[in-house]
Amino acid sequence: MFIQEERDAVYKAIYNRRDIRSFLSTPVEEEKINRLLNAAHHAPSVGFMQPWNFIIISSDEIKEKLAWAADKERRALAIHFEGDREMKFLGLKVEGLKQAPITICVTCDPTKGGSHVLGRNSIPETDILSTACAIQNMWLAAYAEGLAMGWVSFYKKNDIRDILNIPPHIDPVALISIGYTDYYPDKPILETADWEKRRSLGNLVFNNKWTEK
């Protein structure tokens, strides 16, 4: 049972963690990185398959290549937007991949646990969902450690496989930038940029069956 202060701390991390794009060059202590990875590794995992691996990248040369892959895809995706929305999308920065002292590539191995994994037999995507839980654990831990974290999710997976020497069957789910920042916004970046507004929870909850609102 949590006391009130502990419960408040959990919700504070949930509500205040942010996707950060700007980082300081200040090094991150190794013990903090280890605690983030340990938090990720204790995420819930369907069938206890633990499908994740973590590639820790500190090489400036490799981070430059990763930033190139993300920027290439960012520019390619811009054709799907028009006018002000296109400009806002092109304004999304990938420099964080180069600025942050550490980048972590979180991968998912769909072969872990063999051919018959509890839960994955019915819903194959549970390996990716489990990996997403690990990333969320890392995000909350980063906030608790006073660190900023950015999740870069637009790139061609084969570009990342080539850069990081990842086997073809392994899925590079996320590039995570970790570091300190001097700008930690009160609201999500895309919300403050008027990209989208937070939906009302009341419109997303049904009782017993799906109901059109």
Identify the weakest region by mean pLDDT among 21-35, 39-53, 193-207.
Answer: 193-207
Check residues 166 and 77 and name the one with the higher pLDDT.
Answer: 166
Q: Is the pTM of this model over 0.75?
A: yes
* pLDDT score of 87: 60
Predicted confidence band of residue 189 (pLDDT cuts 50, 70, 90):
confident
Domains and CATH numbers, the chain: 21-203 (3.40.109.10)
Instruction: Write out pLDDT tens, residues 47-76.
Output: 888 999 999 999 999 999 999 999 888 878
| Positive or negative torsion for Cα 108, 112, 127, 139 | negative
pLDDT at 89 over 60: no
Percent of the chain with pLDDT over 70: 93
